[in-house]
Structure 1
Amino acid sequence: MVTRVPGWLLRHRITVEPYLGDSAHGPRYGPAVEGIPALVAATHRQLTDTDGREVIATAQIIAAPGLHCPPGSRVTLPDGRATRALSVGDHSAPGLPVPASVEVMCQ
């Protein structure tokens, strides 16, 4: 039974700077975590961000369970483009033969 997305599918590497909150000087981020295995796809999908605004996501990231990337995190994609995580979803189906993963939609 498959319990998590297979590592051989995660062909790209991304960098995540986890969002820690806002300060008087703007957003605060944690230390950058480099070389995170992921599958990155270009996409155009309309969604609602954490502030309730309608936004267009331009990148979809699939990663192994346990990825720490709260909405608002800075993400550097394999092509070097820096973007912001709009939404994060943990996908799991205990007992079913489908892989668990984390999906991050980026601006």
Structure 2
Amino acid sequence: MADIPAWLLRHTATIEPYEGTGAAGPIYGAPVTVRCFVDDVSRLVRSGDGTEAVSSATLYCPLDTVAPAESRVTVNGHRPATVFTTFRRDGGGLPTPDHLEVVLQ
């Protein structure tokens, strides 16, 4: 497995993983800061269940990053967003830059 090169991970994101809903609303896990690459481009994306949304940005993170849909994300310390969906990019042993693509709303 070839991880995404560290020199590409020029930005940081703080992720609070979505864990479900309680009586007072959404429940989030402890915040974790990860290094990533931020692609600030709006685009139409479709989740695995066919739901469509306009993405505000896409993060390219290490493959072991935990960021389920509806997680809260703060990019570079100042821009809050919500995870719409993620795409696991794993080459299965091929020499590819394995990573987790995190699509933000």
TM-score (norm 1): 0.89
Contact 2:13 2:77 in 1 (8 A): no
Residue pairs, 1:36-75, within 5 angstroms: 36-49=34-47, 53-75=51-73
| Unmatched tracts of structure 2, length 5 or more | none
Q: Deviations over 1:18-45 (max 9, x none)?
A: 00011121111001112x1100011111
Q: CA deviation at 1:80?
A: 0.7
In 1, Cα distance between the equivalents of 2:49 and 2:62? 26
Q: RMSD of the TM alignment (CA)?
A: 1.7
Aligned to 1:102: 100
What is the identity percentage for the equivalent residue pairs of Structure 1 and Structure 2? 34
Paired letter, 1:39: F
Residue pairs, 1:1-80, within 5 angstroms: 3-34=2-33, 36-49=34-47, 53-78=51-76, 80=78
Q: Runs in 1 of length 4+ with deviation above 3 angstroms?
A: 48-53
Q: What SS does the aligned partner of 1:70 have?
A: coil
TM-score (norm 2): 0.90
